[in-house]
Amino acid sequence: MTNANTNTGNLNPIFHPAAHYASPEDVLNDNELSVSEKRIILSSWASDMFAVESCPALRDIPGMGRTIRLADILAALRKLDGEDDDPPPGGGIPMRLRRPWAAALRKAPGCPRRPF
């Protein structure tokens, strides 16, 4: 029986990326992987499944031997999309969705206006 930790050369990097890559940058710099394959690896690492319970900004990926910052994984995914390293700007103005029935109630004679 072969131990996966000692015989990593026979493992497929897509199915066992932690055995081949030490960081998100290593994944990005692998010219043998397609953009889709890189996205699959990085997205799986970003999954909440690997979140460190006491520190959700870190990911503990089995076989990696160290934790990885979620911010580094997300930055690598943005690079795949051709975006810069800066995080996207904060959200815009909050918008309230209109209720179609609300306008009818306000216009109906004899109905008091309700705060919506």
Whether residue 19 is contained in a domain is answered as yes
Whether residue 102 is contained in a domain is answered as no
Contact 22, 64 (CB under 8 A): yes
Contacts of 4 by beta carbon, 8 Å cutoff, 6+ apart: 11, 16, 19, 63
Return the amino acid letter for 41.
I
Contact 67, 109 (CB under 8 A): no
Please write the tens of the pLDDT for every residue from 97-113.
Answer: 565 555 555 555 555 55
Query: What is the number of domains present in the chain?
Result: 1
Whether residue 108 is contained in a domain is answered as no
Whether residue 67 is contained in a domain is answered as yes
Whether residue 103 is contained in a domain is answered as no
For 68, the token pair is: 């990885």
Please write the tens of the pLDDT for every residue from 34-81.
Answer: 999 999 999 999 998 999 999 999 999 988 888 999 999 999 999 998
Range of 50's domain? Answer: 9-87
pTM score: 0.59
